[in-house]
Amino acid sequence: MIGSGGQVGSDLCRLLAADPRLPASAGLTRAECDITDPARVRAVIRDQARPAKVQGGLTVVNTAAWTDVDGAETDEAGAYAVNAAGPAHLAAACAEAGATLVHLSTDYVFDGTADKPYEVDDQTGPVSAYGRTKLAGEQAVLALCPSAYVVRTAWVYGAVGKNFVKAMARLARERDSLTVVDDQRGSPTWSADLAAGIVELVLSGAAPGLYHYTSAGDTTWFHFARAIMEELGQDPAKVAPTTTAAFPRPAPRPAYSVLSARRWHDAGLSSPRPWRDALAAAFAAHPVELRG
């Protein structure tokens, strides 16, 4: 597992270590496997593949990414190195070693102008540098490693690292009122649920290719923020709605980021739970960490 120090990576490490169906697993940080270094990637995959052959083969899950959406606007080359070239190095090394690759991608590969959930084969059209680099990464993975899975997700939060839930918890302590955009729609997704979905996908033997995984249902950042206030025991009314135009950012955000789970369901995989149920479960599991 590449990127073990992040939100999804840390949850994956925990699940993999506890799953008796998986004989062995290893989580690698950037220091142990910098995916922008092709020689290092090739050496790591080759070394991991040798013992894995005895146990049925190697599966590599890549959760490493440049996630600074606004920063990518001024350093697209840096984002490309991590989000596109890095996955390409992994895909080439996995193909050479006969390994399976699972690569995480994002809703930002779409332009956000849809009015119904995006299917895996819908036309892409990223409107930001981050989205362009992530699209290039998933295209490279699918072209270079025929046995690869690409899993698009969205609005991820978890106990590790920075995310919207932690930001709202911190701001709720610091301010009497908050304004949050109400014209961007997506599906908040708990990293632990996403990690469990990835494990199920790998073990299922489903056909390789593109999949979407988010919590079920959708909402806006405003209503998501109000739900977070409820979990914090605060008055949701302290959050007021605003518009994207009133809160400009360096990188444009997709107005509509809802991803269809049709292919996930068609593969016979478990349906993700509703986003509101997942949020309650996340706070129950991490009552301290999610309070920022």
CATH number at residue 95: 3.40.50.720
Q: Judge whether 139 lies within some domain.
A: yes
Decide if pLDDT at 102 tops 90: yes
Q: Judge whether 234 lies within some domain.
A: no
Establish whether 130 is a catalytic residue.
Answer: yes
Q: Judge whether 194 lies within some domain.
A: yes
Q: What is the pLDDT of residues 149-173, one digit of tens each?
A: 999 999 999 999 999 999 999 999 9
- Residue 213's domain comprises 7-163+188-217+257-273
177-189 mean pLDDT = 98
CA dist list (Å): 70 to 89, 128, 155, 237: 25, 9, 15, 29
135-156 mean pLDDT = 97
Q: Judge whether 43 lies within some domain.
A: yes
Query: Mean pLDDT over all residues of the chain?
Result: 93
Task: Look up the pTM and report it.
Answer: 0.95
287: phi then psi, degrees, rounded to nearest 5: -65, -25
Q: Judge whether 17 lies within some domain.
A: yes
Q: What's the confidence (pLDDT) of residue 125?
A: 97
Counted domains in the chain: 1
The crossing angle, in degrees rounded to 10, of helices 7-18 and 191-204 is 50
Catalytic residue among 80, 130, 149, 211: 130
Q: Judge whether 70 lies within some domain.
A: yes
Q: Judge whether 211 lies within some domain.
A: yes
